[in-house]
Amino acid sequence: MSAFRSTVARLRNLFRSDVPDHDLHAELEAHLQLHVDDNLAKGMTPEQARRHALLKLGGVEQTKQAVHDQRSLPFFESLLQDTRYATRLLKNSPAFTCVAVITLGLAIGANTATFSVSNTYLRNPISFPEVDRVVAVLNQAPDQTSGWSSVTSADFLDWRARAHSFEAIGAFDWADLNLTGIGEPVKVQGYRVTANFFDVLRASPLVGRSFVNGEDQAGHAPVAILSTSFWRRQFAADPAIVGKIVRLDGVPTQIVGVMQDNVRFPLAAEIWLPLIFSPQEQTQRTSHALLPIARLKPGVSMTQAQAEMRTIQDGLRSSYPQQETGWTVLLMPLGEFVAGPGRGYMFLLLGAVAFVLLIACTNVMNLLFARSTGRQAEYAIRVALGASRWRLVRQALIESVLLGMAAMLVGLLLGDWWSYLIRAAMPPDIARFIPGWDQVRLDRGVFLYTFLIALLAGIIAGFVPAFFSSSADPNNALKESGRGPGMSVSRTRLRNAFVVAEIALSLVLIVGASLMVKGLQSLLALNFKYDPQAVFVFRVSLPASRYPQPQQQNTFFENLAENLRHTSAGQTTAVAYQMPFAGWDTDSFRLEGRPLSPGEYQDAYINRVSPNFFDALHVPLIEGRAFTDHDAAGMVPVVIISESIATHFWPQGTAVGHRIRQGDDNSKEPWATIVGVSAEMNYDPWRKDAPPAIYFPLRQRPVSTASVFVRSSLDPKALVPIIRTAVANADPDQPIFDAMTLDRMISNDLLGLSYIAVLMSAVGLMALVLSAVGASGVMAFAVAQRRQETGIRMALGARPQDVLRMFVFSGLKLLALGFAIGLPLAVVLARLISSLLYGVQSNDFLSFLASAMLLAVAVVLACYIPARRASRIDPIIALRYE
Amino acid sequence: MSPKKDVHQGTLALMILKTLQTLGPLHGYGIARRIEQTSGDLLSVNYGTLYPALLKLEQEGYISSEWGTSDNNRKARYYKLTRAGHKQLARQAQDWTETTAILARFLNEEPS
């Protein structure tokens, strides 16, 4: 307690320590007087009395200093002193301070913005109690090296029966539903979930109740739970919603509850229904569609649970070798599962902005170095007067940390603005699929992060210059101070090393940015051949209750296409089960007479299309023919495969005529004859190793949910009413959804990638500018420093172009070194990006060359300007120059 | 006469407190004189350490000070014990008594 009180008192005094110690002075004076009085009383003469008293008192100044030290905290006091001094110095050189603060501020701002976006995305994409104990329990297909696969219903039931690591294990499955009975029919994003799904998440209802045991058993009356946002939007937050009956896909369903607003899992969920397994589903081990999630028991670690699941999977493998061979179980924290493939890119961006910060630090380091060289004499005098080396280092560090703190303010402002821009540019119908997007803000974590990187940046930028300037030998420095900025060889080397590092880092970033842009371009170029601006897409989902027969579904789509053909809308109308760039349904397949060895796995997007699908999307057929209306039910089953299957299995000769079948060895599907080979289409831009595609004719394989493509020259606005009428003529109860041009749909799918490409480019540009500025600064300094030398050279006959060449050449040497270090690093980054993004090759020579050229031009220009100045020096003036 | 000893580190604060308890409010010079006299002039108080010690005690809240006038009409700063100071003195005095008693027993032990 007393120690605390004393510290408080001293801290208080710290900020008043410049008040002269009047009191103490008077007190010591009084002390002296009292002593003198005593001495006089003892009979001394006045001089003797005073002399004796002074002797006894000892050094008055030492006493004052001792009291002063006790009064405040000497360490902090000198720190404060140094800070005041540093502030004054920075204020006195506003140009230097501005450049340094802006340089650091830009980089810190980029870090703040990126961190604020990625923080929520990576750390809290979803919020549930103890969500870090919740895991997704997934499969990995044989030979699948990255990502995960869904799970079969029989596997899930076995896991649930056998696993002891979990408090609860549930599962969910995607379900597109049509909601009717209240106004216009609407399409609803639903999910079927096991009854314990919300227990696993520890999610609780806002109104009504959660699912109860037994509601996911066959025969139970249909029930549903709404999400808060859907309840607000569709039911105007009706407080009496519980108990109401709605029709979902025609089935009367009772609403039993509304989940709380924070329950956004799966992210786009509007409605949850119980997941009921049919008897076939309970035993099927081939269709991977379920996504199980589980909460770990207290005390059970991920590793333990993973180990248990491995054992269980081993058991299943020996019981069902045919279906389970090669399949493994993968546990993934729910946050990671939700963040999905965007994670890799987020880390990439975070790394990139960290690089930019390093470059900015290097620039400021160089500035500080140049400054400290001009202050050699000052340092020398301080050392000569007894300043310790530590004090000098501290002084310099305080200066750079102050710069860092000022830059932090700039960075926070910029970061806030940038993260606002990033968010504002994201369309809301995409943003709702990005986990945590609406949570992005400058919160405590972001502030702390910004503060820490600003502090670190200040220390990094200041440390090396501080260390070097403090090591000056006062003797030499004072002698040299008369002869302009003296620079030892090691210092010049160090500054050059900074430039080399900058060039290397920039090269890495620019190569990264150009690869991202190139990848995106190649993806977009892929689309141009579909001529996507002229194709309008919408989706229709037919409820099984209304269209129980597959042929009825087919008739609907054919009627719809026919209706559209008779409007002013379109020349070509096509129907497809899956859309390019948004594929999701893959399955395994077999070739006739070519059984798989255990552990081998082959899958493809299974698409079902109308005859003119390839025509409407301008996808060329490489071989064979397209489907016709004669490829109907009851006729010979036919199939079209994509190019890569054909070249893989029939490298010589033709694939046409061979037979192929969807599913595994026990598949009940009929063998279908290959009648054509289509060009490859991209079904998933996020997946580098996206599987090929297999197309079946709709007449032989009808679907209930499909996308309808209309190739039309009409404006989308004019098109929508025509489409609505055509759909209503086919069935007035059917809603259409996701209506937009194919162009828009593709750019929506690629939006995340465009974002990252744009951000990477911005980061690359920043790196380019910063390193050019840095190189220019170092060169300008070298020119100034070698002024006399230049003068002598010119006096001895060097021509201006010789001087120019000399300086530019020294810049080129740095450039070459920077490239030598940067290129291998860039190759590593390129490998990383190419593993993430479709269309990026890590050995993309052209991108490397272009990036290197760009950087080289920038750096040479940056060196040329000061070098030119050097070449115009008048030798007489240069020699006189001190 | 043996050379005067400097005040042992850490004991000066206790001596100041005790002096103030015995004599009531007193100025720095008076405190120093008193300590020297009490020790039978065996101790010499270094004023360079006295004033920081007084300041420290004041910061810790054991003593307080105000300006007053001395017997011979000189203005001086007078220190006096606070309530916390009284308690601290009692505590420290007991500690010291115990410590010295223990030490004495050790030092008086006859070699066997």
What DSSP line would sit under A637-686, residue for residue? -EEEEEHHHHHHH-SSS--TT-EEEESSTT--SPPEEEEEEEPP--S-TT
Segment A859-865 shows an average pLDDT of 86
Residue A272 lies in a domain: yes
A733-736 own/partner pairs: CB under 8 Å, 24+ apart: A733/A178, A733/A180, A733/A185, A733/A546, A734/A178, A734/A185, A734/A540, A734/A542, A734/A556, A735/A178, A735/A184, A735/A185, A735/A186, A735/A187, A735/A540, A736/A187, A736/A538, A736/A539, A736/A540
Q: Do A749 and A685 contact (CB within 8 A), yes or no?
A: yes
Q: Inter-chain contact B59–A66, Cβ cutoff 8 Å?
A: no
Share of chain A above pLDDT 90, in %: 18
Task: Using the structure block, give the residue that is written with the tokens 């260390």.
Answer: A467
Segment A817-827 shows an average pLDDT of 89
Q: Which residues of chain B lie closer than 8 angstroms to A35, CB-CB?
A: 29
For the cut 80, the answer to whether the pLDDT of residue A422 exceeds it is no
DSSP label of A139: E
Lowest-confidence segment of A27-31, A239-243, A657-661 by average pLDDT:
A27-31
Q: Inter-chain contact A10–B59, Cβ cutoff 8 Å?
A: yes
Number of residues that this document lists for chain A: 882
Please give the residue of chain A at the shortest CA–CA distance from B56.
Answer: A70
- How far is residue A409's CA from residue A389's CA, in Å, rounded to a whole number? 31
Please give the residue of chain B at the shortest CA–CA distance from A4.
Answer: B60
Residues with Cβ within 8 Å of A616's Cβ and at least 6 positions away in sequence, in order, are A535, A572, A573, A574, A709, A711
- pLDDT tens column, A509-523: 888 888 888 877 777
Q: Which residues of chain B lie closer than 8 angstroms to A6, CB-CB?
A: 56, 59-60
For the cut 50, the answer to whether the pLDDT of residue A485 exceeds it is no
Question: Which pair of tokens denotes residue A697?
Answer: 């004719």
Mutation site for A-interface testing, chosen from B47, B63, B69, B73 by largest number of A Cβ within 10 Å? B47
Give the total number of structural domains in chain A: 5
Residue ending a domain, choose from A733, A753, A768: A733
Residue A215 lies in a domain: yes
For the cut 90, the answer to whether the pLDDT of residue A156 exceeds it is yes
Q: Would you state the CATH architecture of domain B5-108?
A: Orthogonal Bundle (1.10)
Query: Nearest CA to CA, how far is A56 from chain B (Å)?
Result: 8
Residue A577 lies in a domain: yes
Q: Inter-chain contact B59–A6, Cβ cutoff 8 Å?
A: yes
Q: Is the domain of A792 the same as that of A871?
A: yes
pLDDT class of A598 with cuts at 50, 70, 90: low
Q: Which residues of chain B lie closer than 8 angstroms to A16, CB-CB?
A: none
Task: Using the structure block, give the residue that is written with the tokens 């002074």.
Answer: A54
Q: Do A600 and A571 contact (CB within 8 A), yes or no?
A: no
pLDDT class of A419 with cuts at 50, 70, 90: confident
Q: Inter-chain contact A23–B77, Cβ cutoff 8 Å?
A: yes
pLDDT of amino acid A686: 67
In this complex, the residue of B52, B62, B75 whose CB is nearest that of residue A30 is B75
Q: Is the domain of A271 the same as that of A369?
A: no
Q: Which residues of chain B lie closer than 8 angstroms to A11, CB-CB?
A: none
Q: Which residues of chain B lie closer than 8 angstroms to A63, CB-CB?
A: 47-48, 51
Task: Specify the higher pLDDT residue, A374 or A798.
Answer: A798
DSSP label of A567: S
Q: Inter-chain contact B47–A57, Cβ cutoff 8 Å?
A: yes
Question: Which pair of tokens denotes residue A20?
Answer: 């002269």
Q: Which residues of chain A lie closer than 8 angstroms to B91, CB-CB?
A: none
Question: Which pair of tokens denotes residue A140?
Answer: 């990995």
- How far is residue A324's CA from residue A285's CA, in Å, rounded to a whole number? 8
Residue ending a domain, choose from A326, A359, A374: A326
Residue A742: its H or E element: helix A742-785
Residue A141 lies in a domain: no
Q: Do A794 and A546 contact (CB within 8 A), yes or no?
A: no
pLDDT of amino acid A572: 81
Segment A699-707 shows an average pLDDT of 87
Residues with Cβ within 8 Å of B9's Cβ and at least 6 positions away in sequence, in order, are none
Residue A219 lies in a domain: yes
- pLDDT tens column, A45-62: 888 888 888 877 777 777
DSSP string, A38-54: HHHHTT--HHHHHHHHH
pLDDT of amino acid A858: 87
Q: Is the domain of A573 the same as that of A652?
A: yes
Residue ending a domain, choose from A706, A733, A760: A733
Q: Is A320 left (phi over 0), alpha (psi -120 to 50) or beta?
A: beta
Q: Is the domain of A705 the same as that of A840?
A: no
Segment A240-262 shows an average pLDDT of 89
- What is the ipTM metric for this complex? 0.82
Q: Check CB contact of B40 with chain A, cutoff 8 Å.
A: no
Q: Is the domain of A202 the same as that of A285?
A: yes
DSSP label of A882: -
- How far is residue B58's CA from residue B66's CA, in Å, rounded to a whole number? 11
Residues with Cβ within 8 Å of A223's Cβ and at least 6 positions away in sequence, in order, are A211, A215, A253, A254, A255, A256, A273, A274
Segment A631-651 shows an average pLDDT of 89
Interface of A with B in 448-477 (CB under 8 A): none
Q: Is the domain of A346 the same as that of A242?
A: no
Q: Check CB contact of B78 with chain A, cutoff 8 Å.
A: no
pLDDT of amino acid A209: 92
- How far is residue A281's CA from residue B35's CA, in Å, rounded to a whole number? 97
- How far is residue A692's CA from residue A355's CA, in Å, rounded to a whole number? 38
Q: Is the domain of A365 the same as that of A446?
A: yes
For the cut 70, the answer to whether the pLDDT of residue A724 exceeds it is yes
Lowest-confidence segment of A413-417, A611-615, B3-7 by average pLDDT:
B3-7
Q: Check CB contact of B60 with chain A, cutoff 8 Å.
A: yes
Q: Check CB contact of B30 with chain A, cutoff 8 Å.
A: yes
Please give the residue of chain A at the shortest CA–CA distance from B33.
Answer: A35
DSSP label of A563: H
For the cut 90, the answer to whether the pLDDT of residue A27 exceeds it is no
Lowest-confidence segment of A293-297, A470-474, A753-757, A781-785 by average pLDDT:
A470-474
Domain, as residue range, for A60: 2-72
Q: Is the domain of A822 the same as that of A728?
A: no
Segment B67-75 shows an average pLDDT of 82
Tell me how many degrees the CA angle A731-A735-A736 measures, rounded to the nearest 5: 110
The predicted model scores a pTM of 0.68
CA distances A514 to A23, A504, A519, B87, Å, are: 70, 16, 8, 76
pLDDT of amino acid A143: 67
- How far is residue A224's CA from residue A198's CA, in Å, rounded to a whole number? 13
Residue A336 lies in a domain: no
pLDDT of amino acid A478: 60
pLDDT of amino acid B32: 87
- pLDDT tens column, A493-548: 878 888 888 889 888 888 888 888 887 777 777 666 677 778 888 888 887 778 88
- How far is residue A446's CA from residue A120's CA, in Å, rounded to a whole number? 10
Task: Specify the higher pLDDT residue, B76 or B9.
Answer: B76
Q: Do A708 and A560 contact (CB within 8 A), yes or no?
A: yes
Q: Is the domain of A550 the same as that of A436?
A: no
Tell me how many degrees the CA angle A2-A29-A9 measures, rounded to the nearest 5: 20
DSSP label of A184: S
Q: Check CB contact of B33 with chain A, cutoff 8 Å.
A: yes
Q: Which residues of chain A lie closer than 8 angstroms to B55, CB-CB?
A: 67, 70-71
Q: Is the domain of A727 the same as that of A767?
A: no
Q: Is the domain of A104 the same as that of A58?
A: no
Output the average pLDDT for chain A. Answer: 83
- pLDDT tens column, A93-136: 888 888 889 999 999 999 998 888 887 777 666 778 888 899 99
pLDDT of amino acid A302: 92
Task: Specify the higher pLDDT residue, A431 or A380.
Answer: A380
Convert A180-209 to b/e letters by CB count within 10 Å (16 or more is b).
Answer: beeeebbbbbbbbbbbbbbbbbebebbbbe
Q: Which residues of chain B lie closer than 8 angstroms to A27, CB-CB?
A: 28, 51, 76-77
Q: Check CB contact of B51 with chain A, cutoff 8 Å.
A: yes
In this complex, the residue of A2, A58, A63 whose CB is nearest that of residue B61 is A2
Q: Inter-chain contact A56–B47, Cβ cutoff 8 Å?
A: yes
pLDDT of amino acid B1: 39
Lowest-confidence segment of A5-14, A358-367, A437-446, A764-773 by average pLDDT:
A5-14
Segment A608-621 shows an average pLDDT of 88
Q: Which residues of chain A lie closer than 8 angstroms to B33, CB-CB?
A: 38
Task: Specify the higher pLDDT residue, A303 or B45.
Answer: A303
Q: Inter-chain contact A30–B56, Cβ cutoff 8 Å?
A: no
Residue A234: its H or E element: helix A228-235
For the cut 60, the answer to whether the pLDDT of residue B9 exceeds it is no
pLDDT of amino acid A21: 55
DSSP string, A385-400: TT--HHHHHHHHHHHH
pLDDT of amino acid A771: 85
Residue A475 lies in a domain: yes
Question: Which pair of tokens denotes residue A277?
Answer: 């397994």
Cis peptide bond upstream of A266, omega within 30:
yes
Q: Do B13 and B53 contact (CB within 8 A), yes or no?
A: yes
pLDDT of amino acid A403: 92
Residue A144 lies in a domain: no
Q: Inter-chain contact A37–B72, Cβ cutoff 8 Å?
A: yes
**For residue A457, which of A349, A348, A356, A371 has the smallest C-alpha distance?**
A356
Q: Is the domain of A226 the same as that of A107?
A: no
- How far is residue A173's CA from residue A188's CA, in Å, rounded to a whole number? 14
pLDDT of amino acid A482: 44
Q: Phi and psi dihedrals of A214, rounded to 5?
A: 100, -25
pLDDT of amino acid A297: 93
